[in-house]
Structure 1
Amino acid sequence: PKLQFKTISDFHDDEEEHPGFGEKIGDVVVALSLYGKPLLRDIIVSEKISCMIVDGIFGDLVIDLAHEFGIQLITFRTVSACCLWAYLCVPKLIQCNELPIRGVRHTLVLVWCQTLT
């Protein structure tokens, strides 16, 4: 299998209005759940995807599409000591200009396995 990463918009193009990190990250999750399926569907149709690995918080976005296309879906929750530490470090990473990652503006990174044919 070949691992690939793709991004889709989070539907917050206005820098001034973008909810960013922290307590408003839920706005990004809601927008993706409501409007992201057509973009994800386009990726699924154009690529030969055999498996999607996603954070469980995006379940509403991917579960129906995985079933529709017969794609194996692996969901996980990012609740662990490592994840908690990463969450706690985000404000410092922003302060040090390490986040957001330059060149990738307000996108969700999707990871999946692609079968070689």
Structure 2
Amino acid sequence: CAGIGATGKCKNAGYPNPKNCKVCICPYGYGGAYCAQRPAGCGTTLTAFKAWKSRSITLGNATITTTRDTVTTCSDWITAPAGKTIQFRITALTDVQCYNGCMYSSIEPRILIDKAMTSPR
């Protein structure tokens, strides 16, 4: 892909797709041709304010009590004005199915410079 397409345009630790150099392969939580957009599907973009705001998220079907074969991935983005710090607080997780490193029930904040890396689950 050198010199064409997405080379140098990929954001947030994305990299050019060797099968289609016009677009990037994005890490989880990022989408769009150049990994600069929130991926389609579950999630929303929130704006941080000086006062705390609450958000409650429910995933899955509570009537199903067995381990599911599929996962739901939601990507919430929190934005703030340049130079401002974002704080978030997780107050509760219930009915967490935690097997093999919690890949089925986890929250992965992207707070590091390298957006492909996540904080501990």
**Greater gyration radius:** 2
Q: Mark yes or no: TM-score above 0.5.
A: no
**Greater fraction of residues in strand:** 1
Give the alignment's TM-score, normalised by structure 1: 0.26
Higher relative contact order (CA 8 A, sep 6+): 1
Give the alignment's TM-score, normalised by structure 2: 0.26
